[in-house]
Amino acid sequence: MRIFQWGLILSLLFTSQMALSNRKSDEWQYLLVFPMIWAPSITGTTGPAGDKVNIDIPFDNIVDNLHFGLMGDFYAQKNKWLFGIRANYLHVKNDSSTQAGILVPSFNIALDAQMSLNDAFGGYEVTKGLVLLSGVRHTYSNIKVDVAPNSDRPFWNDKSGTIVAKGHQFDWLIGLKYQHRFNEDWGISLTVDTSVVGDNDVNRGINLAGTYRLSKLNNIWFGYRYLNIQNTTDSNKGPVEVDVTQKGPMLGWAFSF
C-alpha cells in the first residue's frame, strides 16, 4: 500500500512538472534589445560604373564620424514559432584624401551617408535550436560624395563634382538562426541571411550574438555583425553602383520577459 502511495505521489509530481513545462512552452517569450550600439567599419565603392569613388571609414574612426545612430531588436517566440523585428539607422560623415601620383594630384573626398536597415521576419524551429527564417528587409541609403582635386590647374578642376544617390530598396530574405543556452546565464545565437529576390543585387548578413543574464529581466547583449549590400541606384549623375560593407562589434541591454 505504501509503495502504491509513493508511486502515486511521484506520478503526480512528474505529471505536474510536465504540465508546467508545457504551459511554459505555450506562453509567449519576448526579448527586447534596446539601447544597442553597433560600431562598424564602413568600406566599399560608389559612383558611375567607370568612375567609382572609394568609401573607407575604419572602426577606429566610426565614433568620431558618427553623427547619429539608433538600433534595436525585438523577438517573440512561442513553441516552435519565432517572430522578430530588427532596425538600425546610421548617419556618418567623413573627410579623406587620396594619395597623389606623379601626374595626378590628390583628391579630397567628403562623404555624408545616411543608412538604415530594417527587418521583419518569421521563423520555424525545424530541429532543436535551429530556426528557418523568412522575411522582408528594407534598406534606405542617402549617400552624398563631394570630390575635389587638391590642385589649381583648370584641367583637374573639371574633375570635381558631387554625387548624390538615395533610395529605398526591399528584398525577400531567407536565412537560418541557431541558438543555444549553455546554462541559466549564458547563451549564444548565430543568424545568417541572404536575399532571394528584390531591389538589391546582393543583400547578405551575419549576426553573432551572446547574452549574459543578470536577472530574470535584464541581460547583457554583445556580439559582431556583418552586412554587405550591392545595388544600382539613381543619382544626379545617372545610375550609380553602390557596394558597401559594414562590419563591427555591437553591445546592448536586453530585456527578457
pLDDT tens for each residue of 21-55: 444 568 999 999 998 888 888 898 887 777 777 88
CA–CA distance, 78 with 80 (Å, rounded to integer): 6
3-state SS, residue 215: coil
Which of the residue ranges 52-61, 149-158, 189-198 has the most confident prediction, judged by mean pLDDT? Answer: 189-198
Instruction: State the Cα–Cα distance between residues 127 and 129, nearest whole angstrom.
Output: 6
Confidence (pLDDT) at 25:
60
pLDDT in tens, 135-156: 999 999 898 888 777 666 655 6
Q: Where do the domains of the chain lie?
A: 28-256
Residue 86 pLDDT: 95
CB 66, CB 111: distance < 8 Å: no
Identify the weakest region by mean pLDDT among 18-22, 113-117, 123-127: 18-22
Share of the chain above pLDDT 70, in %: 82
Tell me the three cell numbers of residue 27.
506562453
Q: What is the pLDDT of residue 129?
A: 94
Q: What is the pLDDT of residue 182?
A: 96
Give me the helices (H) in 58-208, please: 62-65, 154-157
Note the pLDDT of residue 9. Answer: 43
- Considering the four listed CATH numbers 2.40.128.90, 2.30.42.10, 3.30.450.20, 1.10.3720.10, the one that applies to the domain covering 28-256 is 2.40.128.90
- What global pTM score does this model have? 0.81
Q: How confident is the model at residue 3 (pLDDT cuts 50, 70, 90)?
A: very low
Using CB atoms within 10 Å of the CB of residue 134, give its burial: 0 to 12 exposed, 13 to 18 middle, 19+ buried: middle
- Is 200 in a helix, a strand, or coil? coil
| Between 192 and 106, residue with greater pLDDT | 192
Give the per-residue pLDDT at 170: 97
pLDDT beyond 60 at 125: yes
Confidence at residue 220, expressed as pLDDT on a 0 to 100 scale? 97
pLDDT band at 18 (very low <50, low <70, confident <90, very high): very low
129 contact partners, CB below 8 Å, separation of at least 6: 178, 179, 180
What pLDDT does 159 receive?
Answer: 63
Cα(111)–Cα(56) distance, rounded to whole angstroms? Answer: 10
pLDDT at 186 over 60: yes
Q: Could you tell me if 63 and 39 are in contact, meaning their C-beta atoms sit under 8 angstroms apart?
A: yes
pLDDT tier for residue 183 given thresholds of 50, 70 and 90 = very high
Mean pLDDT of the chain: 83
Model pLDDT, residue 99:
65
Q: Which three cell numbers stand for residue 120?
A: 521583419
Whether residue 40 contacts residue 58, with contact meaning beta carbons closer than 8 Å, is answered with no
